[in-house]
Amino acid sequence: MDAKKIRKSISHFFAWLGLSGVSFIVNVLPAPLLYGFASGIARIGYVCAVKQRKIALASLQIAFGSEKSEAEREQIARQCFAYMAKSSIELMYLIDKPAVMKKQVRLVHKERLDQALAAGKGVVLVSAHFGNFPLLLGRLCLEGYRAGGIMRPMHDARVEKIFVKKRKRYGVRTIYSQPRKECVDETIRALRQNEIIFIPIDQNFGTGGVFVEFFGIKAATATGPAIFAQRTGAALLPCFILRQPDDTHEIVFEDPFWVPEGVRGEEAVFKVIQDLTHIIESYIKKYPAEWGWIHKRWKSKPSVKGGG
């Protein structure tokens, strides 16, 4: 094993150890003290996670530029770290307490989801790494919906095993993004069984997607929702989970829409993904601290020919 693999193994071990330690603390700490604990973690994280802090501030500069002052951007970054810490603590606390989760996470405009499912061709729930999004699928399953999501496996198999076990308890279907053929086949099968599939499209997608406008800058974006909707007739339903002032959550559904029958080709895919990206951008502008700014969203650049 080379030095790089050794470092990764050590890093993964300590990540697992940290997760186990925090999980233990969350389960023994009285509920009223959990958010104070999360705030402490967030303050330490903002100081110590230098790389992630720099990425967040750089991303905020790209997105907002002169629209927001340096102080405003830093405040959003700090609040983003605070929300991520709260979300992590909530996830570990609520995932083993379905009744509490049901009370803490409310569904808003649920009739829009029901309308989309009434067509009988499945629903592609399009969202982002926004708010405490891991709670979203579990809460939908608690409501009686059949739901799953396309996910990348975690780097550490031990951590992955923990979360797969938790998702199975709720009945959440896990579809791994690789191998690609198995991912596509299982997603289409789920949609044809009139299930809900959650797909976030807010992260850099390298060279495999299309370049759409995101905060006025071309960003490589996954095309999966549009392609799955074309192939199955599934509804496309933008959806976001929003933190409330009292740290409860609301899952908000936008109006569903469908790719018109017979519409095919790259232009159709591009338009759908651009429209969905505009919706995601509008939520980020309204609730900036809810989004994960520690990701290099604009890392990939379009080729000279364009790319959308």
The predicted model gives 276-292 an average pLDDT of 98
DSSP string for 263-294: --SHHHHHHHHHHHHHHHHHHHHHSGGGB-TT
Question: What kind and span of H or E run contains 250?
Answer: strand 249-253
Distance CA(111)–CA(88), nearest Å, equals: 29
- pLDDT above 60 for 17: no
Q: Please return the burial class of 183, using the count of CB atoms within 10 Å of its CB with bins 0-12, 13-18 and 19+.
A: middle
Give the pTM: 0.90
CA distances from residue 290 to 31, 34, 80, 128, 134 in whole angstroms, order as listed: 22, 19, 6, 10, 13
The predicted model gives 221-230 an average pLDDT of 95
Distance CA(236)–CA(196), nearest Å, equals: 10
CB of 204 closer than 8 Å to CB of 220: yes
Least confident of 26-40, 41-55, 285-299: 26-40
pLDDT at 257: 93
The predicted model gives 234-257 an average pLDDT of 97
The predicted model gives 9-27 an average pLDDT of 55
pLDDT tens per residue across span 103-131: 999 999 999 999 999 999 999 999 999 99
The predicted model gives 98-102 an average pLDDT of 94
CB of 42 closer than 8 Å to CB of 84: yes
- The dihedral through the CA atoms of 160, 59, 291, 227 has a sign that is negative
pLDDT at 12: 41
The predicted model gives 192-221 an average pLDDT of 95
Radius of gyration (C-alpha) of the chain in whole angstroms: 20
pLDDT at 13: 44
pLDDT tens per residue across span 145-179: 999 999 887 767 776 777 788 788 899 999 999 89
Q: Could you state, in order of their start, the residue ranges of all structural domains in the chain?
A: 3-290
Output b/e per residue, 245-268; b: 16+ Cβ within 10 A. Answer: eeeebebbbbebeebeeeeeeeeb
pLDDT at 27: 72
Residue 197: pLDDT band with limits 50, 70, 90: very high
Which residues, including other chains, have CB under 8 Å from residue 214's CB and lie 6 or more apart? Answer: 221, 277, 280, 281, 297, 298
% of residues, the chain, pLDDT over 90: 71
- What is the DSSP code (8-state) at residue 124? E
Question: What kind and span of H or E run contains 31?
Answer: none
- pLDDT above 60 for 10: no
Q: Using H for helix, E for strand and C for coil, what is the string for 229-244?
A: HHHHCCEEEEEEEEEC
pLDDT at 153: 78
Least confident of 1-10, 25-34, 212-221: 1-10
Helix (H, G, I), strand (E, B), or coil: what is residue 107? strand
The predicted model gives 6-26 an average pLDDT of 53
The predicted model gives 47-67 an average pLDDT of 96
* CA angle, 220 then 224 then 225, to 5°: 110
